[in-house]
Amino acid sequence: MTQGGKKKKRTVNRSIMLAKKIIIKDGGTPQGIGSPSVYHAVIVIFLEFFAWGLLTAPTLVVLHETFPKHTFLMNGLIQGVKGLLSFLSAPLIGALSDVWGRKSFLLLTVFFTCAPIPLMKISPWWYFAVISVSGVFAVTFSVVFAYVADITQEHERSMAYGLVSATFAASLVTSPAIGAYLGRVYGDSLVVVLATAIALLDICFILVAVPESLPEKMRPASWGAPISWEQADPFASLKKVGQDSIVLLICITVFLSYLPEAGQYSSFFLYLRQIMGFSSESVAAFIAVLGILSIIAQTIVLSLLMRSIGNKNTILLGLGFQILQLAWYGFGSEPWMMWAAGAVAAMSSITFPAVSALVSRTADADQQGVVQGMITGIRGLCNGLGPALYGFIFYIFHVELNELPMPESPSGGSTVTQYQLQQNSIIPGPPFLFGACSVLLALLVALFIPEHTNLNLRSSNWKKHCGSHGHPHSLQAPGEAKEPLLQDTNV
């Protein structure tokens, strides 16, 4: 395509975005309170994950009571199935939301993501079964980011996505501690009822207050373009990985570094509770401290590092912190070691934002969506493979408990738990040590990524549906940078 053709296409797409904004301002959005705004999306995200955050401590207890012999293996399988189903369904749901509107799919994803909550006290087996199957619709972030893209311009989008991501982190700073306190004082049944009530409030908020961001007048244009398998194919973004050597290096780095991170998120709080002897309150405090430090690291610290040492060196530094963190988790046998490693973990959270920034700066304007879509697809795949891999490694190294941890010793850990841990395994956390080795390989691969280069993908016809993989918003201009999608996950 000639340079003039590219400019003409970008002009047309900007005109479409401008027309959508005019329609929205003219009252073309039926139902809801006010005009569509980022704040509607923020409230939806906050309520959903606040409800799940309340269940952090009760879920860990119910998981061990339901699967006392193979707790970590079953946890890995449950979260792994959910992650894989989310990876497979996200592109299809995104493409359908381009046709039928965002509001209906916000309602659908929030309802099915929160559907398992009341089952915790009714039937634990059904609770975990529904959690696994709910992965088909557990893609609220994808629809929320599409909602935000509908109502923001390019220069506003990064800040808007940052607000949504910060809201997600903020919802998990306080809710686990609140859930643990209420469970200790009033019992877990009250926590489940409260979480269910908040989930219902979220659903009612979407029904009553959230206006449709994709106006009715804009939808007939979408009906004229039928949904193809290319748009719904979750592996479409991965098929282009080998077409450019730089893209291949970046994608291998993301895969090797995010695979252990996804597995860690699925099992680490259970590991603290069952193996390290943390109380429910200690786990909640750990989540809060880690969340606050991660927000600081991804805003202030990341900005300073990007200006002072450059993009590539920031990625390498983040990978170095991740190796140290995972090795510390793997060999740590005392509670204070977990707290110290958690502080390092907050610093390691700068890696993926730095990778996304590197892609955004080095890729051609009309390739942003393609490359960001690849990275998003790989992260989605890791969300399915990582938890299953960690659960399997825990299982083969016989890292399990036969009983819940005893009351805490003065040092903050259970002496019985630590004794059993020393008897069962020389390495307290084998999966974390495996993760450290994986990230070390990612670091070696990242050394070969040039600081400044142009990413050129050979296939030009892939651009026509790249928007459905960067985030599900097919009307976005090719030159707009796609933000990486956060993956929905239970605490």
What pLDDT band is residue 318 in, cutting at 50, 70 and 90? Answer: very high
Q: At residue 96, does pLDDT exceed 50?
A: yes
> By C-alpha distance, which of 386, 437, 310 is closest to 79?
386
Token output for 154: 């390019």
pLDDT, tens digit, 9 for 90 and up, residues 354-409: 887 777 666 665 555 566 667 777 877 888 888 888 888 888 877 665 444 444 44
In DSSP terms, 371 is beta-bridged to none
Angle at 490 between CA 485 and CA 491, to 5 degrees: 110
> By C-alpha distance, which of 60, 62, 45 is closest to 281?
60
DSSP 8-state code for residue 407: S
Alpha carbon of residue 190 to chain centroid: 28
Q: Three-state SS for 304?
A: helix
422 close to 99: Cβ distance less than 8 angstroms: no
Token output for 391: 């659960």
Whole-number Å distance between alpha carbons of 312 and 318? 10
Hey, which bits of 121-174 come out as E strands?
A: none
225 close to 116: Cβ distance less than 8 angstroms: no
Q: Residue 217: what pLDDT?
A: 52
215 close to 32: Cβ distance less than 8 angstroms: no
Q: At residue 484, does pLDDT exceed 50?
A: no
485 close to 375: Cβ distance less than 8 angstroms: no
Higher local confidence (pLDDT), 27 or 304: 304
What pLDDT band is residue 203 in, cutting at 50, 70 and 90? Answer: very high
Q: Residue 441: what pLDDT?
A: 96
What pLDDT band is residue 155 in, cutting at 50, 70 and 90? Answer: low
What pLDDT band is residue 284 in, cutting at 50, 70 and 90? Answer: confident
Q: What separation, in Å, do the N-terminal and C-terminal C-alpha atoms of the chain show?
A: 46
What pLDDT band is residue 311 in, cutting at 50, 70 and 90? Answer: confident
Q: Residue 18: what pLDDT?
A: 44
**Buried/exposed code over 314-348 (b: 16+ C-beta within 10 A; e: otherwise):** bbbbbbbbbbbbbbbbbbbeebeebbebbebbbbb
Higher local confidence (pLDDT), 225 or 107: 107
Whole-number Å distance between alpha carbons of 385 and 21? 40
Of 145-154, 195-204, 277-286, 410-419, the range with the highest mean pLDDT is 195-204
Helix and strand element counts for the chain (H, E): 22, 0
DSSP 8-state code for residue 153: -
Q: Residue 50: what pLDDT?
A: 92
147 close to 36: Cβ distance less than 8 angstroms: yes
Q: Which residues does 239 contact at the CB level (< 8 Å), separation at least 6?
A: none
Q: Residue 416: what pLDDT?
A: 40
Tell me the pLDDT of the chain averaged across its residues. 75
Of 118-132, 340-354, 378-392, the range with the highest mean pLDDT is 118-132
> By C-alpha distance, which of 85, 90, 17 is closest to 236?
90
354 close to 306: Cβ distance less than 8 angstroms: yes
Question: What would the CATH number be for the domain defined by 32-214?
Answer: 1.20.1250.20
Whole-number Å distance between alpha carbons of 338 and 286? 9
pLDDT, tens digit, 9 for 90 and up, residues 456-482: 654 444 444 444 444 444 434 333 333
Q: Residue 231: what pLDDT?
A: 63
Distances (CA, A) of 276 to 177, 411, 479: 18, 11, 49
Higher local confidence (pLDDT), 372 or 267: 267
92 close to 232: Cβ distance less than 8 angstroms: yes
Higher local confidence (pLDDT), 336 or 152: 336
In percent, the amount of the chain with pLDDT more than 70 equals: 70
Q: Residue 20: what pLDDT?
A: 44
132 close to 124: Cβ distance less than 8 angstroms: no
Q: Which CATH class is domain 237-400+429-450?
A: mainly alpha
Q: Which residues does 78 contact at the CB level (< 8 Å), separation at least 6?
A: 128, 131, 132, 387
Of 35-44, 142-151, 317-326, the range with the highest mean pLDDT is 317-326
> By C-alpha distance, which of 329, 326, 342, 345 is closest to 282?
342
Token output for 8: 């003409």
Q: Residue 71: what pLDDT?
A: 82
Least confident of 221-230, 271-280, 327-336: 221-230
Whole-number Å distance between alpha carbons of 206 and 201? 9
Whole-number Å distance between alpha carbons of 4 and 10? 10
Token output for 77: 């399988």
Whole-number Å distance between alpha carbons of 326 and 345? 8
Q: Residue 399: what pLDDT?
A: 67
CATH 1.20.1250.20 location in the chain: 32-214, 237-400+429-450
DSSP 8-state code for residue 301: I
> By C-alpha distance, which of 137, 157, 155, 159 is closest to 147?
157
Using only the alpha carbons of the chain, give its radius of gyration: 22
Q: At residue 222, does pLDDT exceed 50?
A: no
Give start and end residues of each alpha helix (H) in 224-350. 229-232, 245-274, 280-296, 302-308, 311-331, 335-348
